[in-house]
Amino acid sequence: MATVAPPCPSWTRGSVPLSQRITRRCFETATPTRFTTHGALVQAPPPSPSPSSDKDRRSIQVLTLSRANDLQAEARAMTRAANATVYDPQLIASLYSSQPVKVVRRTLQILVALGSFGMKLLLDQRNGVLDRNRRLRASELKEIFTKLGPTFVKLGQGLSTRPDICPPEYLEELSELQDGLPTFPDEEAFACIERELGLSLESIFSSISSSPIAAASLGQVYKAQLKYSGKLVAVKVQRPGIEEAIGLDFYLIRGLGFFINKYVDIITTDVVALIDEFARRVFQELNYVQEGQNARRFKKLYADKEDICVPDVFWDYTSAKVLTMDWVEGVKLNEQEAIERQGLKVLDLVNTGIQCSLRQLLEYGYFHADPHPGNLLATPEGKLAFLDFGMMSETPEEARSAIIGHVVHLVNRDYEAMARDYYALDFLSPDVDVSPIVPALRDFFDDALNYTVSELNFKTLVDGLGNVLYQFPFNVPAYYALILRSLTVLEGLALYADPNFKVLAASYPYFAKRLLTDPNPYLRDALIELLFQDRRFRWGRLENLLVQGRLDRDFSAKEALQPVLKVLLSPDGEELRILVIKEAVRVTEAFTLSTISDTYKSAPDFVRVLVSNGNANVPIITSETEMEDMTELRDQVFRIWGLLQSSNDFDPDLLLPILQVLQQPEARRLGERVMGGITQRLAARFLQQVLRVPNTPST
């Protein structure tokens, strides 16, 4: 939760000496039964699969009790947050419609700030310098949002993820929007803690920092030490009056949204629906119990990796407006020098962040929606710590596979399929004609794909795609915009350390692994589409996928290609079986002829003279190019087999599905056709060799 780098020496000196003010009442309030729960949860050893001793049984009992106590503590926290404010536009409208003075005062404040900005835009348009001044105006808007307070800071951060609404210059400037708000008095924060938890500070903490360690738009963070366990914790306290301020702002912004929907044709997105969605997310951030539950869920899904750190929640000291979590000592991910002084590498941490972000987006679909540098810390142990779980989002299950399929279509330059993907991704409604979008995609990506994957800059790709989205009636879902922002932030951090770093190159092993191993029907079809072109198998693509997939730490050779093999076994796999049989004929011919050619070339001259009818320089009748292609095909197959064999978990049993296919009745018939095809081709080659016919056999 905290965002400072080194330990703060002034914390000890400036902390409140709570230990000197402990009373008998405090001890009675903080009962041992209540406060041993979290310590047991953290320190209890994992249970053994089978409790073979009294020690194992006691360990299981301790862990079971800890979990039960932790659930009870969470339930108590939820009870404390039962009256937390939720976003209800009708209720907010009824509340502020009866407070005209407050509404008018805030309206004038907003209108003066945004009105002057709007006038500058109109003058730019009238003078023909709108595009030239776009960067300047974007920077000015960022400053205006900062001055208008928490709601507009959040709004600006939200707009920075919407390429369907904002031009690229605005996206870039607003993405740098920081929480530049003053802190609120410590006395109010400490009073809030006691009021929310029903406990005195002395009964909870042995010490607490006398001033905030970090501050944001919605609250500020203190560093403290728990009295019952001595653990260091981060205590986030909500800003006083924030609910009313945000509620009033969204009431006014929503009214503006109705105006935009009705009169501004250039924006095709339903602005009111967008505002409501964003307001719901912001109000969810105001419920710190919900944030604690978000953190727990995130920890359960992603902290199983040894290089990911997620702080745990102390439920007994958490309510709607107070959140207490493990203190994480670390350095912000954008502080390269401080990270390197600890013997760590920024690029290693960024790669960890990329892999975790891809898992968030494409596996479980639950992801951190606010991954700015202040929420990502490098710990002294080399782990990447995620902080601040107030704003989370989810990727629909169908969209997870559609995104990977979209990458396949991009690699294949199948822009018609890419355009159709936007239906599955919920970018476009089904009644929108995608044919005008295809040329725009082709114009941009044909140029971008002239670079290799390792050369292509993710930000350039996103900016270019953003231009396409901005020109057409796209409605970019929040999950997609947020994950693009996440990867862009990570690439930006990496570029400080290495100007040549490319996030796409770092992501490619994950995509390759998923395509090779995931049984999802959509991804299975995408893999087949990637591997076959013009009804011919692309061995080079398979080899590249295996090379890249093996770079992913979760790659399993046992699972590689199993999705395709299962299709071969299925009743619907007849078309694929025909393609595989045809390819089997081609590969067998390549193996046979290239081996004969190699043997012929290594034989003594007198043997070659006898075999070739007196011409020792004439091998099998094929063109030089054709023989090179056959040799390369054979070598590729050998390399692919070598890649599989060299994997740590290689198992020859992975070939059993192929044998099972050949044992099925329809496969036997196709097998006979394979043998027939191979026999015909080799017989034709033999006759050519004997008769010296100078042309290759027909297929």
Three-state DSSP class for 649?
A: coil
CA distance 662 to 568: 10
**Cα 461–Cα 177–Cα 163 angle in degrees, nearest 5:** 35
Residues 6+ apart with CB under 8 A from 198: none
Question: Residues with catalytic annotation?
Answer: 370
The amino acid at 30:
A
Three-state DSSP class for 166?
A: coil
In degrees to the nearest 10, what's the CA dihedral of 60, 295, 491, 524? Answer: 70
CA distance 654 to 670: 21
CA distance 412 to 441: 13
β-strands 308-309, 384-386 pairing: parallel
Task: Give buried/exposed letters for 510-523 (b at 16+ CB in 10 A, else e).
Answer: bbbbbbbbbebeeb
Give 52's DSSP letter: -
Tell me the β-bridge partners of 331: 378
In degrees to the nearest 10, what's the CA dihedral of 497, 498, 503, 507? Answer: -90
CA distance 357 to 350: 10
CA distance 414 to 406: 9
Give 208's DSSP letter: E
β-strands 232-238, 384-386 pairing: unpaired
**Cα 515–Cα 428–Cα 396 angle in degrees, nearest 5:** 45
Tokens 């393609």 correspond to what residue?
579
How many residues are present in the chain? Answer: 699
CB atoms near residue 296 (< 10 Å): 17
Distance of CA 195 to the CA centre of its chain: 38
Determine which helix (DSSP H) or strand (DSSP E) holds 215, and give its type and residue range: strand 214-215
Three-state DSSP class for 221?
A: strand
DSSP code string of 358-408: HHIIIII-EEES---GGGEEE-TTSPEEE---SSEEE--HHHHHHHHHHHH
CA distance 390 to 320: 12
